[in-house]
Homo-oligomer: A and B are copies of this chain.
């Protein structure tokens, strides 16, 4: 009874109810992610949620339903996170390189390297072909719009004379590919990169990106004792 409000809007005994609901969803996400759909079983999920098996069925019907609910939730949360991060893009950069590096770090840290990112990578890889409709909203609302939005930001920077590029869509995809280049091995091993690895990866990526698309002539090469100008 944490909130004995007077004009109760909430149905009734739903405080602990929804607590259990999210607990189940959360546990299910972990187990599905760890074991895959086929390898996951309801008892594991119930145990990890601290709930009886029957309660799982009460809340979500059957296994397929539960899986769909998990995918939907994580998809929505991930897409929201991506766009929140996209909103921090340096539209009016003070130091373009530094600002892009920070942006790249935020993108990797908040959207790619967290639990949800890992889950989606894995699930889409394993079940994406079998249940394409399941991930359709992810596909259209996620990468599709992400690329377009990022491309628009780059186009604006180019229009402002800070970048020079032919096709902003290609540049956006390449930016995303570059910021993950150094993290591939971590992804494969399931390791969460340290903050330092994140910074190194972002720095390498942005330097190369700016060497290719920066306006101010070729950068003097990352940290090398390059020839004088």
Q: A residues touching B (Cβ–Cβ < 8 Å)?
A: 35-39, 121-122, 124-126, 128-129, 132, 139, 143, 164-167, 170-171, 173-174, 176-178, 180-182, 184-185, 188-190, 204-205, 208-209, 211-213, 217-218, 221-224
Residues of B within 8 A of A122 (CB): 125-126
Q: How far is the CB of A16 from chain B (nearest CB, A)?
A: 34
**Is the CB–CB distance between A170 and B182 below 8 Å?**
yes
**How many monomers of this chain does the complex have?**
2
Across the interface, which residues of B come within 8 angstroms of A35, CB to CB?
Answer: 38
Residues of chain B within 8 A of A211, CB atoms compared: 211-213
Output the least CB separation between A196 and chain B (Å). Answer: 15
In angstroms, how far is the closest chain B Cβ from the Cβ of A189? Answer: 7
- Closest beta carbon of chain B to A127's beta carbon, Å: 9
Q: A139-B185, A166-B224 provided; 5 other pairs, C-beta below 8 A?
A: A143-B184, A174-B204, A174-B208, A177-B178, A211-B212
